[in-house]
Amino acid sequence: MMHAAVGWHVEMEFEEDDQHTRAAALLRLPDGSEVRSHGRASRHTTDNNQPRVGEEIAGARALNELALELLDKAHTEIDQNSGRTSHPIHV
């Protein structure tokens, strides 16, 4: 059995103001397709302004959405290739 190393790189971009952080994630797959997702975080008025924490939360939410998008994509491809409707593969 032959094993091949495959790598994926996720690009993350953030937009921030004093109260909100928005994250956008982009994954380009080896077949040329792209999967995109977004995440948000809001700072409570009593919390200290910690931009890194907002990025971590918004980024984690974007990555979580990215994972769900990948599961949906895989499910659709399984159905298309098998010619049948399978059970969703969300965790």
What fold is seen in the domain 10-82?
A: Double Stranded RNA Binding Domain (3.30.160)
Strands (E), 5-87: 10-16, 20-28, 34-42
Separation between Cα atoms, residue 12 and residue 24, nearest integer Å: 6
75: its two tokens: 């499910």
Any long-range contacts for 67-72 (C-beta under 8 Å, 24+ apart)? 68/37, 69/35, 69/36, 69/37, 70/27, 70/35
pTM of this structure: 0.83
Q: Which two tokens stand for residue 4?
A: 């091949």
Tens-of-pLDDT digits for all 91 residues of the chain?
A: 778 778 899 999 999 998 999 999 999 998 899 999 999 999 988 888 888 999 999 999 999 999 999 998 888 888 888 888 877 776 5
Domain ranges in the chain?
10-82
